[in-house]
Chains A and B, each alone.
Chain A
Amino acid sequence: AQTVTQSQPEMSVQEAETVTLSCTYDTSESDYYLFWYKQPPSRQMILVIRQEAYKQQNATENRFSVNFQKAAKSFSLKISDSQLGDAAMYFCAYRSKDSGGSNYKLTFGKGTLLTVNP
């Protein structure tokens, strides 16, 4: 079974600076999807960015980018020019592409709580 590990329970960053959140995963599959979700105090789960494993180019969405290292099974999230509204819990998630298995299911890490200091 796949597992997702977020080794930083909490992180903090100064407004306007850059922060990187770590995520590693364990899988025997060669193709899959990876996601970062943001959960602000409102509780709403918001998709931040996504990456398909066979795509070597790192995904970017405005101030959010990932560093996808497939061999190392690492999928870190970089937030540039941090804003107060970025303060939230961030979850890394994995989805299999295996058509015969659990490709419906998201496996989540335990989350990293990001604080943005003014």
Chain B
Amino acid sequence: DSGVTQTPKHLITATGQRVTLRCSPRSGDLSVYWYQQSLDQGLQFLIQYYNGEERAKGNILERFSAQQFPDLHSELNLSSLELGDSALYFCASSVRTSTDTQYFGPGTRLTVL
């Protein structure tokens, strides 16, 4: 158990819909990272937040957005969902920066039908 929690575990929805994935980092960790893992693309970095502020951005689509709240939990919002958005979405947290160990949550499996 990494100490990072993600909800929900599984999500099945239809194209065009919007969903919110939630992540609670390990106690004391200030950075939260979001990753997408699909069979053909592998593990892709989406975005990082540090203490409430956006720190780094990867290949995150405009239809996706994220935020980190004052209690440091984070949410990833995915809208206008397409079939290709079906993937495992991982959240990870670290104490401060990316050179600190990143601890991954169990992931949310999103299926878009």
Tell me whether A and B are bound partners. no
- Interface residues of B, Cβ cutoff 8 Å to A: none
- Interface residues of A, Cβ cutoff 8 Å to B: none
